[in-house]
Structure 1
């Protein structure tokens, strides 16, 4: 039995090369890594935005093409994913601010750690929002989604039905393993901007999850009973 599809093999190979090269570069010269490999508006950051936008586009495609064959809860769940990943992609590139040369408003200049038009770099008190979200809330969500959800999906029919009704793609175990491997490799990198690579890995693996989830039938037309 072939565990990986051709796309998954290619994607994992490229992702592993990016993470390993980043680790080697970070161990060799962490300053060079920060300034040239994971710099602001660099290829790593753009790669993350492309992956997130890809999930948005894929979810929108599912929503539009399956609209007439799916029930309301499926439409609600898929629409929420469309909004979520469009927001994530927009935030990653500061909503095209630097692309179009748009100046930040006074509010963002004063309250954004990088003076950009986005929410994830806003400073509340003395903490950046993205530090609160990514280091605490996101860790909890990822733990539940990658480790607990697939167990519940396989064990309880009510949970399986609930996930399918709301079009929640369930991870395969190789997705979970990929996240664990990437987490370890990124954690070993001493560079301060290593988490840019982690965000890219996050986007790439999530794209693979949405492309080929365990419950792939949620992205197929419902057969009339």
Structure 2
């Protein structure tokens, strides 16, 4: 049976979905407005810049949300496959968050161990910039996996599920969810536009930020208030709407916090062309 919240409140009208799209569109418009000023655009895109701190904050909160859902399901239904999948995703997203800021290395001013000095493209303590052939692990492998997984999860499976509802049921059986097309299509469109309209060696950071904000919104929407989700969410009815509005405020607060953190940490503008 389809979740009543998803039926009574169309996806495109849900405040969390709308807020994620507005935040991502604002970031792209900001990049376009600063595209004529290399210094300002670099401030947005470089290491410890606005978008990197946004990625860290969004991934961190998403990891916390996934972990909360996993523990709640564990307590109420025992250790099942869906719980294990959610716990795995919790750890994976947490690692992604820490990788974005090199595990606090630059903030704490910690020298990289010898292994990373020799094998990391930026001499940092992180995994995604490790050398992999002529490129980094990030460019050679991870970006391709993210692209394939993102298209399958955000476009192909949701489209297929519209004609075959059993697809959504199958996905949710493993503790996963499918984002609503009302969230996925704007997200994918913004990624495409960022690659076409922005001329900067690190323009790929925009797409990563869009993804971080997109998944923060859709993870909350699915598991907590039942947006495009058939299983019982953690909140329902009036409480779900109130919590959703509060969560949108938190999302905008994260954008402001990312901006302030970038100014406090001091964006590294010398890493042109870094991953």
Is 1:52 the counterpart of 2:66 in the alignment? no
1:186, CA displacement in angstroms? 0.6
Q: Distance in 2 between matches of 1:178 and 1:104?
A: 39
Partner of 2:217: 208
Partner of 1:81: 89
Q: Distance in 1 between matches of 2:56 and 2:88?
A: 18
* Contact residue 108 and residue 116 of structure 1 kept, 8 A: yes
- State the Cα deviation string for residues 36-92 of structure 1 (Å, max 9, x = none): 221211221001011111110000111122322235011111111111101111111
Partner of 2:156: 148
TM-score by length of 2: 0.73
- State the Cα deviation string for residues 78-112 of structure 1 (Å, max 9, x = none): 11111110111111111111222221111101111
Count of residues in Structure 1 that have an aligned counterpart in Structure 2: 219
TM-score by length of 1: 0.88
Superposed, 1:21-170 pairs within 5 Å as: 21-26=30-35, 28-29=36-37, 31-70=38-77, 72-156=80-164, 158-170=166-178
Q: Distance in 2 between matches of 1:20 and 1:204?
A: 16
Which deviates further from its counterpart, 187-196 or 61-70?
61-70
CA RMSD of aligned residues (A): 2.0
Is 1:10 the counterpart of 2:19 in the alignment? yes
1:128, CA displacement in angstroms? 0.7
* Contact residue 191 and residue 206 of structure 2 kept, 8 A: no
- State the Cα deviation string for residues 170-208 of structure 1 (Å, max 9, x = none): 110112211222123211101222111221111000111
Which deviates further from its counterpart, 33-42 or 14-23?
33-42
User: Which one scores higher on RCO, CA 8 angstroms, separation ≥ 6?
Assistant: 2
Q: Distance in 1 between matches of 2:48 and 2:59?
A: 15
Tell me, which stretches of 5 or more residues in structure 2 are unaligned?
1-8, 223-227, 236-275
Please give the secondary structure, in 2, of the residue aligned with 1:103.
Answer: coil
- Runs (4+) of structure 1 exceeding 6 A deviation are none
* Contact residue 179 and residue 218 of structure 2 kept, 8 A: yes
Q: Distance in 1 between matches of 2:16 and 2:152?
A: 26
Q: Distance in 2 between matches of 1:122 and 1:61?
A: 32
Partner of 2:255: none
Partner of 1:20: 29
1:34, CA displacement in angstroms? 4.6
Please give the secondary structure, in 2, of the residue aligned with 1:114.
Answer: coil
Partner of 1:184: 192
The 1:218–1:96 alpha-carbon spacing in structure 2 relative to 1, beyond 3 Å, is: farther
